Amino acid sequence: PRLANQIAAGEVVERPASVVKELAENAIDAGSQRIEVDLENGGARLIRVRDDGSGIAEDDLPLALSRHATSKIESLEDLEGVASLGFRGEALASISSVSRLELMSNIAEDPRSGWRVVAEGRQMEPRVSPAPHPRGTSVSVRDLFFNTPARRKFLRTEKTEFGHVEEAFRRLALSRYDIGWTLRHNQKTLHQLRGADDTAGRERRIAALLGSKFLDNALHLDLEASGLRLWGWVGLPTHSRAQADQQYFFVNGRVVRDRLVAHAIRQAYRDVLFHGRHPVFVLYLEVDPAVVDVNVHPTKHEVRFRDGRLVHDFLFSSLHRALGEVRP
């Protein structure tokens, strides 16, 4: 199982940013309202994610680190329309097989209770020991890839790795406005975002994450048709050059990179007025979970729509209409 875990780790754990994504998604699934991400040395030395979610019961702690142990899927039917972000039960097992992982958790309101379990390259301590912790969970991942030197070699500079983490953090924070998020690097707080899921709160967060210029020149839209809803912000051309990489598209809360989606947006953008411009956007597509398959790839950046044509046409026509209204 050790080898199998290390192989599987390659799929899920590519670099510190992927660890942050997996741990934060677990925190989201646990119903957290506050999630804090702490890093040292771009995440190569330490990645710590703390949450105030449901916590993990003492008996379930060792289980949480074992492969294919998930508390989120009970039957095959559940796989249709999964609401939680995780459902394969391999992230913690994979991460712990290539790092020194410490898991602390408490399901009780009493901050004097709590438990701790440690795994080091899969050599898990047999015992769960008491350790006081506020209600919720902290996962610390130290020395990523310490036992897989070939992989460790692929880690880039501290700055580059931190850049990837910050991008993962942006996507997470843009996926859940109701959650408060903190990002710290080498003891320095870079983002402290209050949870508020109303227009003001969302716009405050977008300004904090993407710069205030983004909203100064963006169109807000919210359209619904044939069971699909598209809302969010699309950037309009400015005299200054828009930042090319500000493209965020979420399907039911999951960030998605999809050719069909990209094509529909590009086409609408080009058609209306921004010929030759690179579109920038933060957009949310909400669909019935039964018509989208998110279980295509472990990192889940891909989706497959049952009716791709319907989605493409809806995206294209929604954007076309919204952008057409602001045509000078």
Which stretch in 74-82, 87-95, 109-117, 187-195 sits in contact with ligand ADP by CB under 6 A? 87-95
269 is an interface residue for ligand ADP by CB under 6 A: no
Among 13, 46, 91, 230, binds ligand ADP (CB under 6 A): 91
Q: Which of 5, 18, 106, 137 binds ligand ADP (CB under 6 A)?
A: 137
**Toward ligand ADP, which CB reaches closer, 137 or 252?**
137
Closest CB to ligand ADP among 15 and 300?
A: 300
Asked if 26 touches Mg ion (CB under 5 A), the answer is yes
Phi and psi angles of residue 41, each rounded to the nearest 5 degrees, phi first: 50, 50
Min. distance of Cβ 321 from ligand ADP in angstroms? Answer: 38
Q: Rounded to the nearest whole angstrom, what is the least distance from the CB of residue 90 to Mg ion in the complex? A: 8
Which residues in 22-61 contact ligand ADP (CB under 6 A)? 22, 26-27, 30, 51, 53-56
Nearer to Mg ion (CB atom), residue 88 or residue 202: 88
Q: Judged by CB, which is closer to Mg ion: 31, or 211?
A: 31
CA distances from 53 to 13, 28, 168 (A): 23, 8, 20
- State the DSSP string of 9-45: HHHH-SSHHHHHHHHHHHHHHTT-SEEEEEEEGGGTS
Q: Where are the beta strands (DSSP E) in 114-186?
A: 115-120, 129-130, 136-142, 180-185
d(CA 244, CA 173): 20
Residues 10, 11, 12: CA angle, nearest 5 degrees: 95
Q: Which stretch binds ligand ADP (CB under 6 A): 20-28, 163-171, 192-200, 250-258?
A: 20-28
With CB under 6 A as the contact rule, the residue among 70, 97, 140, 318 that binds ligand ADP is 70
Question: Distance between CA atoms of 49 and 106, rounded to whole angstroms?
Answer: 14
d(CA 168, CA 124): 28
Considering CB distances under 5 to 8 angstroms, the limit depending on partner class, which of ligand ADP, Mg ion, none binds residue 43? none
Site for Mg ion in 69-98 (CB under 5 A): 86, 91
First to last CA, the chain: 62
Q: 8: part of which helix (H) or strand (E)?
A: helix 2-12
CA contacts within 13 A on the Cβ side of 173: 30
In the complex, the smallest distance separating the C-beta of residue 12 from Mg ion, rounded to whole angstroms, is 9
Residues that bind Mg ion in the complex, under the rule CB under 5 A: 26, 86, 91
